[in-house]
Amino acid sequence: MSERQSGVFSWPVRVYWEDTDAGGVVYHSRYLNFFERARSELLRARGIDQMELKETHGFIWVVTEMNVKFRRAARLDDELDVTADFRWMKGVRQGFYQEITRKSDGAQIAIAEVTAVMLQAGSLKPSRLPQWIKNKLEQEH
């Protein structure tokens, strides 16, 4: 496993009614959506188009493990920063570290350690990353 300190990617998110429970607090599963959006946008920023990856190259990414620690509650109308940082590769697995913070006070809302695997789209068998994807993931930004 090679540990890297790459540039951390940040994606802004605002909390809407649809993200909250009856008390105006973000429902726990919505944080997973926020994390997913930031990872997807990190890939896009590094030049990896997931639809092209599937349709042209026959690969898809799936999350195999996610460890989330909820620190504080986010509420209706909060502006959040959701980060995604590519950290490591080992065999067919890739690791990401993510964090959600509230813009107004810098409070840490949640953190996640994510393990993803690239699969062959047709067979769903794990596959090592092609070198061109490794190169893009390892780019400093």
Domains, the chain, in order of start with CATH, read 9-131 (3.10.129.10)
Phi-psi region of 91 (alpha: psi -120 to 50; beta: other; left: phi over 0): left
Q: Where are the alpha helices (DSSP H) in the chain?
A: 28-45, 50-55, 131-137
d(CA 9, CA 84): 5
- The mean pLDDT values, 10 residues at a time, for the chain of 141 residues are 56 97 95 97 94 94 97 98 95 96 98 97 94 87 52
- Cα torsion 33, 35, 41, 45 to 10°: value is 180
Residue 83: which H helix or E strand, with range?
A: strand 79-90
Q: Are strands 79-90 and 9-14 parallel, antiparallel or unpaired?
A: antiparallel
The token duo for 93 is 């697995």
pTM, whole model, 2 decimals? Answer: 0.90
Q: Which of 21, 77, 78, 105 is catalytic?
A: 21
Tell me if residue 21 is catalytic. yes
Is residue 62 within a helix (H) or strand (E), and if so which, with residue range? strand 59-70
Nearest to residue 26, comparing CAs of 101, 82, 78?
Answer: 78
Q: Quick one: pLDDT at residue 138?
A: 86
Q: Residue 117: its pLDDT value, please?
A: 97
Region of residue 124 (left: phi > 0; alpha: psi -120 to 50; beta: else): left
pLDDT confidence of residue 4:
35
18, 66, 77, 96, 103 from 115: Cα distances, Å: 27, 6, 30, 6, 26
